[in-house]
């Protein structure tokens, strides 16, 4: 499957039906709205610093995805007002043949604990394996126990390193079968 057209249905821990889908350029407004809905903790955990708004360059980086070096997915639900972004995740590599990619996630604080990051990780692993990526790396704030739990529950072999308050996590991906 072409990751640019990726879509899957999932059921969250609370029974909510959601769609896991590829990020599209036309998602810019949805990104801005979702970012404004993020609580300070979610922003800090994702960007490692306080941030009140996304710059035009950041917004372009988030929505202009090539699906070769960067693969980005959203978890959304349908409401009476349309599609709502609940969270997202991505992996990025500077060199696709290196087999290594950096992962990052963000979940709207209103939807934490529902399994969003776990679902995104599982789908990113599938796409990455099909693309020849063999390792995910992530820098996670040591206080971000919920993200560490997501990574540990993935069932993927995991290595940890520490640099002050930041944990360097490496997940080994199994070859695609």
Q: What is the pLDDT of residues 82-122, one digit of tens each?
A: 888 998 999 999 877 788 999 988 888 788 889 999 999 99
pTM to 2 decimals?
A: 0.86
**Contact status, residue 11 vs residue 18, Cβ threshold 8 Å:** yes
- Residue 157 sits in a domain whose CATH number is 3.40.630.30
Q: How far, in Å, CA of 29 to CA of 35, rounded?
A: 10
**Contact status, residue 105 vs residue 117, Cβ threshold 8 Å:** yes
Does 70 fall in a domain? yes
**CA angle, residues 173, 175, 177, in degrees to nearest 5:** 130
Tokens at 1, concatenated: 């499957």
Strand order in the sheet with 100-107: 7-11, 17-22, 70-79, 82-92, 100-107, 135-141, 166-172, 158-163
**Contact status, residue 39 vs residue 57, Cβ threshold 8 Å:** no
Q: What is the tally of structural domains in the chain?
A: 1
- Number of H helices and E strands in the chain, helices first, is 5, 8
Beta strands in the chain (DSSP E): 7-11, 17-22, 70-79, 82-92, 100-107, 135-141, 158-163, 166-172
Q: How far, in Å, CA of 128 to CA of 71, rounded?
A: 8
Does 148 fall in a domain? yes
Does 177 fall in a domain? no
Does 49 fall in a domain? yes
Domain limits at 57?
3-172
Does 69 fall in a domain? yes
Does 82 fall in a domain? yes
The pLDDT confidence band at residue 49, using thresholds 50, 70 and 90, is low
Confidence check: pLDDT of 158 > 80: yes
Confidence check: pLDDT of 27 > 60: yes
Does 111 fall in a domain? yes
Does 150 fall in a domain? yes
Q: How far, in Å, CA of 172 to CA of 157, rounded?
A: 5
pLDDT digits (tens, 9 = 90+) for 124-151: 999 999 988 999 999 988 888 888 999 9
Q: How far, in Å, CA of 45 to CA of 142, rounded?
A: 10
pLDDT reported for residue 100: 92
């Amino acid at each position: 499957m072409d990751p640019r057209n990726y879509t899957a249905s999932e059921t969250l821990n609370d029974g909510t039906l959601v769609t896991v889908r590829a990020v599209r350029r036309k998602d810019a407004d949805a990104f801005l709205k979702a970012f404004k809905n993020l609580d300070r903790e979610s922003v800090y955990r994702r960007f490692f610093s306080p941030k009140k708004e996304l710059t035009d360059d950041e917004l372009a980086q988030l929505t202009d995805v090539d699906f070769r070096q960067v693969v980005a997915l959203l978890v959304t639900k349908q409401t009476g007002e349309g599609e709502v972004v609940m969270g997202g995740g991505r992996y990025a590599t500077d060199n696709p043949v290196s087999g290594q990619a950096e992962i990052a996630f963000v979940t709207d604080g209103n939807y934490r604990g529902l399994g969003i990051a776990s679902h995104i990780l599982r789908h990113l692993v599938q796409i990455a394996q099909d693309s020849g990526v063999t390792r995910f790396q992530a820098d996670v704030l040591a206080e971000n126990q919920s993200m560490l739990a997501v990574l540990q529950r993935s069932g993927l072999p995991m290595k940890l390193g520490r640099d002050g308050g930041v944990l360097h996590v490496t997940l080994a991906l199994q070859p695609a079968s």
